[in-house]
Structure 1
């Protein structure tokens, strides 16, 4: 499900079962990350699949990348793998106006 920034962040903050997932590259994460985010690079292909498969499928995943494309793809992959609740941040980190922490 695609959510605009305000809804994505508000819903993630109110969700006791939330996991924030950053699917950008390690280099992109040097620009900062959304606080508490777990980073799994979608460009790692099968490595991404293996790492995601180890995650708890009962959690709700709030996924972002730089612009929203890779995170939408990650949500689609995760849904196919049995993750019921994935939320894509529209516009991604490049349009993020919320809190940022240094990696």
Structure 2
């Protein structure tokens, strides 16, 4: 069952529809995203794998792996749903899918990095 779910998730990541801005979810370009995450203490979450995260990440991000289905909801439920959450992944696909999940979990404001970490110009 887990393998089927992982295959479906992988295929929808590759071929899934792009998330559009909604009242809850917004996609920010790197400049606006950078301004937002440096302006105050925010909930910044990298939804890539631990290996990807260890290879380089945005400062102060926590890692909640999108593919770890068992712990994904549990880890996000530890965050404040009333406060904005800023997501990113490698290219934007996993973070868009994560945003949809967070919307269904009741998060009020979700921001996604356009183009993901691959397009992040502020790497150290």
Shared fold (TM-score, shorter chain, > 0.5): yes
Does 1:59 pair with 2:83? Answer: yes
Distance 1:31 1:97 in 2: 16
Q: 1:46: Cα distance to partner?
A: 2.9
TM-score by length of 2: 0.75
SS at structure 2 position matched to 1:10: helix
**Higher RCO structure, 1 or 2 (CA under 8 Å, sep 6+):** 1
Does 1:84 pair with 2:84? Answer: no
SS at structure 2 position matched to 1:42: coil
Query: Greater CA deviation, 32-41 or 54-63?
Result: 54-63
Unaligned runs of 5+ in 1: none
Larger Rg: 2
Does 1:74 pair with 2:98? Answer: yes
Runs of 4+ in 1 over 4 A off after TM superposition: none
Unaligned runs of 5+ in 2: 1-25
Q: Give the aligned length.
A: 99
Distance 2:99 2:42 in 1: 14
Higher helix proportion (structure 1 or 2):
2
TM-score by length of 1: 0.89
